[in-house]
Structure 1
Amino acid sequence: MGAAGGSGVLAAGLLWVALAAAVTSEPPAHVLAEVLFCQPDMPSLGLALVFDADQLFWFNFPGSCWTPRLPDLLPWPPAVETPTQLLQDATLCQDLRRSLTSLATGKLAELKGVPMPNVFPAQPLVLGEPNTLVCMVGNIFPPAVEISWRLNDVPVTQGVTHTHYTPTDNVAFVRFSYLLVTPAASDIYTCIVTRERDNISVIAYWVPQNPVPSEVLETALCGAAMALGILLALLGIAMILVARRSAHG
């Protein structure tokens, strides 16, 4: 990402810090933050309502409405901030980004974060049964990455969903991608995180490993315990016999 994008997102990050501090007391028990960012890359605008580290709502700018992160959440009261006010804030963010770009280009170092993906199953693994793979990508800055999946080095697009960017307390973002799977023992799943402007990709692999059934594990542990008990008993008898012989001698 160019210096212009870095300056713009930095301004949005500072806005997030100010809002978070304004709604909390010292020491803060919980933080409710409204985070607005703007940048030259896509998405050019982003607005999220975050409680602690969890995203509650994101603002759909084309539809001018708040969208809940989870379908069970109640709608966010529109009277708190009207769509017109939020669009004005977005325009102000873009104006600040352009002004900061002209002042900071060539003078301030560009801020970037290397995305860090981690892949894990949403449910306990059972080979041959449906599950969901989660690719959690942290340390995203600026918030402009593409997440894709591969199965055995073949691109996968069916059963894939992505979340919007969720801000974190270190002025970075996290994003999740989900893939519906039915894992087999020979599968190799790949989560690829790409930042096109820098032409870089970060890859995380996941290989299903069938856990040992609990019944088999319990039987093996019981057998090992019994064998250890017998061994200790024989050792004790041998020590007693040696002690008696020594006493008679």
Structure 2
Amino acid sequence: MGAAGGRGARGALWGVLWGALCAGLGGAQGPGGTHEPPAHALAEVLFCQPATPSLGLTLTFDADQLFWFDFPRARWTPRLPDLPPWPPALEPPDQLLRDATFCQNLRRAITAMATGILPEAKGIPLADIFPVQPPTLGDATTLVCMVSNIFPPAVEIGWQVDGVPVTRDVTHTHYTPTGDLAFVRFSYLRVTPNAGDVYACVVTREADNSSIITYWVPPNPNPDEVLETALCGAATALGVLLALLGVAMSWAARRSTHG
């Protein structure tokens, strides 16, 4: 049984059910007090809450999401397209839907008992923007907005370019649980950065009508690169000028000889 928090008069208590398939996040102590390398962890996490999304189920390996369960379609979906499909015989959808119903019923029962007694559990989201690879002005790249410390998992992530909201070329991931009983979510924006552009990732929590905005601007060209480009341009122009001067002098010399 995982974490739970109260929401006062509204009774919006939410619960998280943790199912650890393979534990061992810390290093084990071997004979003679020696520490063995830490084991890997495969975890399956089901959460339910009054907010949207009301249900969530993910399978993670060392905090990296492998699969998430699509409740409307009752099927597992791989986080990356290269992952193999989920084995149909392992945890059939009917069983997972029963677990989700149990989670919702348990949440309602605990809400009725804990409203006005337990304080609300809430995390303040933290957002960070970074490009997938070092950006170059005029070349297409992908910006990543990583939103961490999400609790409960109910935030909206939007993008703005120069203060104007954009929805094209935007993709979002589903919530991934972390070891501190919070969640992380990623949003991606495909862009072609230009000098002077201002990109913003807006994280909104509708429950308390609050937003967090993080900005990113393309880095200015390296002064050495600018100087090198200017010198190359000047050298090219000088070469063209000398070539033209040479042609003019050659033409003048021929004309003088013929005269």
Q: Under a length normalisation based on structure 1, what TM-score does the superposition of the two structures give?
A: 0.80
Measured against aligned partners, the alpha-carbon deviations of 1:185-234 in whole angstroms (never above 9, x if no partner) come to 1100010000011000001000111342887899xxxxxxxxxxxxxxxx
For residues 162 and 212 of structure 2, the distance between their equivalents in structure 1, rounded to whole angstroms, comes to 17
For residues 151 and 93 of structure 1, the distance between their equivalents in structure 2, rounded to whole angstroms, comes to 40
Name the counterpart of 1:149: 159
**Is 1:53 aligned to residue 58 of structure 2?**
no
Name the counterpart of 2:93: 83
**Is 1:169 aligned to residue 179 of structure 2?**
yes
**Structure-2 change in CA distance of 1:159 and 1:136 (3 Å):** same
Name the counterpart of 2:219: 209
Q: 1:101 aligns with which of 98, 105, 111?
A: 111
Measured against aligned partners, the alpha-carbon deviations of 1:147-196 in whole angstroms (never above 9, x if no partner) come to 00100001111111100000000000000000010001110001000001
Whether the 8 Å CA contact 1:125–1:210 is kept in 2: the answer is: no
Q: 1:34 aligns with which of 33, 44, 55?
A: 44
Of 55-64 and 207-216, more deviation after overlay is shown by 207-216
Spell out structure 1 runs of 4+ moving beyond 4 A.
213-218
Whether the 8 Å CA contact 1:37–1:93 is kept in 2: the answer is: yes
Describe the SS at the equivalent of 1:147. strand
Name the counterpart of 1:43: 53
Name the counterpart of 2:138: 128
Greater share of residues in helix: 1
Structure 2 gaps, min length 5: 1-5, 29-37, 229-259
Identity of aligned residues (%): 65
For residues 102 and 74 of structure 2, the distance between their equivalents in structure 1, rounded to whole angstroms, comes to 17
Whether the 8 Å CA contact 1:138–1:173 is kept in 2: the answer is: yes
Name the counterpart of 1:23: 22
Q: Which amino acid aligns with 1:23?
A: C
**Structure-2 change in CA distance of 1:89 and 1:214 (3 Å):** farther
